[in-house]
Amino acid sequence: MTAYEIANKWQLQYGDESLQERIDWHKEFGLVFITKKLFILATEVYYNTEEEDLDMFTLYPNAWFIELAASSDKMTPIKEVMRVLPTKREWVLWCRDGINKLHSYNWDKLARKVGL
């Protein structure tokens, strides 16, 4: 399966809208990156570390929120995601498997952890 097919399968299982709707939104407000091996939807946000709250429409982003990422081979997806993101931010954020628990990582610490 391609990364797109994996992302689409995930979206059908956990999402409220179609994958194309999410892609269209990210084309306007976020980042879309699609190859056969890697699929990424991400948005620059402001992350309030004290309240663990996200502001999706900030003028002062300090984080990337990885909303959907998929890999079609055995690469480490977060390492590849960090390589693709066009701007370094203080934080990298994501949720897993449709569960609304936010995972937050300092960019520099995560980069060292994944070998960047």
Q: Provide the whole-model pTM.
A: 0.89
pLDDT single digits (tens) 19-58? 999 999 999 999 999 999 999 999 999 999 888 888 888 8
The CA distances from residue 9 to 19, 40, 68, in Å, are 9, 14, 12
Please name which of 95, 94, 89, 91 lies closest in space to residue 106, comparing C-alpha atoms: 91
Residue 115's pLDDT band (boundaries 50, 70, 90)?
Answer: confident
Encode pLDDT of 54-109 as tens digits.
Answer: 888 889 999 999 999 999 887 777 888 999 999 999 999 998 766 678 899 999 99
Domain positions in the chain are: 3-114
Per-residue confidence band for 110, with pLDDT thresholds at 50, 70 and 90: very high
Contacts of 59 (CB under 8 A, 6+ apart): none
Q: Which residues have C-beta within 8 Å of that of residue 109, sequence separation ≥ 6?
A: none
pLDDT, residue 99, reads: 64
- Show the tokens assigned to 100: 């609304």
Rounded-to-integer distance, Cα 104 and Cα 88, Å: 15
